[in-house]
Chains A and B, each alone.
Chain A
Amino acid sequence: MNNGKNWTEEDVDRLYSKLKREAEAAGYYLNPDEAFTKDLVRGLLTNEARYGYQACPCRLASGIRSEDLDIICPCDYRDQDLTDYNTCYCALYVSQSALRGETPISPIPERRPAPDKRIQVGQGAARMQSSLAYPVWRCKVCGYLCAREEPPEICPICKVKKERFERFM
């Protein structure tokens, strides 16, 4: 199993720069503590090598993609945590006030439900009858809405994949 100790500075910098660029383009911010943030980036690289996707470094992934969708970074809980605590669970992303140093960046409670309380993909998504010309899809990560037959391949705001969208209307 990959223990994550073998990433080169170049590997880490590449992902770090990409995440930073994409975050800032969409109004999000990476944790300004670069050493801390790069440690998290190493965790993301390790999880990608291990599971095939960038599961949150601070949560235990099952290795089954459909069960881990909500914790693929950026996770489904990031935006609410930024609102409530100025940082996401692992503290890769922070709010503008935390970026400016106006609010502390400290550990926050886990918002993800306990293993026995999680809703599996497909569950709870009742078929919707609608009089709209198109279905409305919602990005579970950033809340972006679009009215079209299918969700986009990639969320134009937070860059997560199509699988992270839910039918909203």
Chain B
Amino acid sequence: MEAKHVMGEDKGRVMLYALSTCVWCRKTKDLLKTMNVSFDYTDVDLLNAKERDEAMEEIRKWNPLCSFPSLIINNNCVVGYDEKKIRELLTI
């Protein structure tokens, strides 16, 4: 599974599990772009069955509900579009 990369300032590992149809996921991507943060993302709904299972297994470790967006910032997981928490975790 190849995550898509968005160039920006390096803030450590920033990985977004998203859905291409989800508006809150889009807002999360837009926020990270606005903040000029380097991040990777995967639109899980666009993956094939095998890749999707792998992605879900990874998401489950961080967020047992496997809901979207799930944003992993280093050792933290932000579930849902939580602008305040995302800004806090990325303002170090």
Chain B min CB distance to A135 (Å) = 34
B19-A4 in contact (CB<8A) = no
Cβ 8 A contact of A60, one of B23, B66, B79, B80: B66
Contacts of A3 in B (CB 8 A): 20, 46
Q: Classify the interface of chain A: helix, strand, loop or mixed.
A: loop
Residue A57 CB within 8 A of the other chain: yes
Residue A40 CB within 8 A of the other chain: yes
CA distance A108 to B60 in the complex (A): 19
Scan A26-66; emit 1 where CB is below 8 A from any B CB, else 0: 00000000001001101100110000000001111100000
B23-A43 in contact (CB<8A) = yes
Interface residues on B, range: 20 to 34
Contacts of A61 in B (CB 8 A): 45
Q: Interface-forming stretch among A15-23, A109-117, A141-149?
A: A109-117
Cβ 8 A contact of A46, one of B21, B56, B65: B21
Scan B24-43; emit 1 where CB is below 8 A from any A CB, else 0: 11100000000000000000
B22-A57 in contact (CB<8A) = yes
Residue A94 CB within 8 A of the other chain: no
Contacts of A114 in B (CB 8 A): 64-66
A60-B26 in contact (CB<8A) = no
Given contacts A4-B20, A91-B23, contact A60 B65 (CB under 8 A): no
Residues facing B in A76-130 (CB within 8 A) are 90-91, 107-110, 112-115
B23-A58 in contact (CB<8A) = yes
B66-A109 in contact (CB<8A) = no
Residue A1 CB within 8 A of the other chain: yes
Residue B10 CB within 8 A of the other chain: no
B26-A58 in contact (CB<8A) = no
B67-A57 in contact (CB<8A) = no
Q: A60-B45, A60-B52, A110-B67 are in contact. List 20 more A-B contacts (CB 8 A).
A: A3-B46, A40-B23, A42-B21, A57-B19, A57-B21, A58-B19, A58-B21, A58-B25, A59-B67, A60-B19, A60-B44, A60-B68, A61-B45, A90-B22, A91-B23, A107-B80, A109-B80, A110-B79, A112-B67, A115-B60
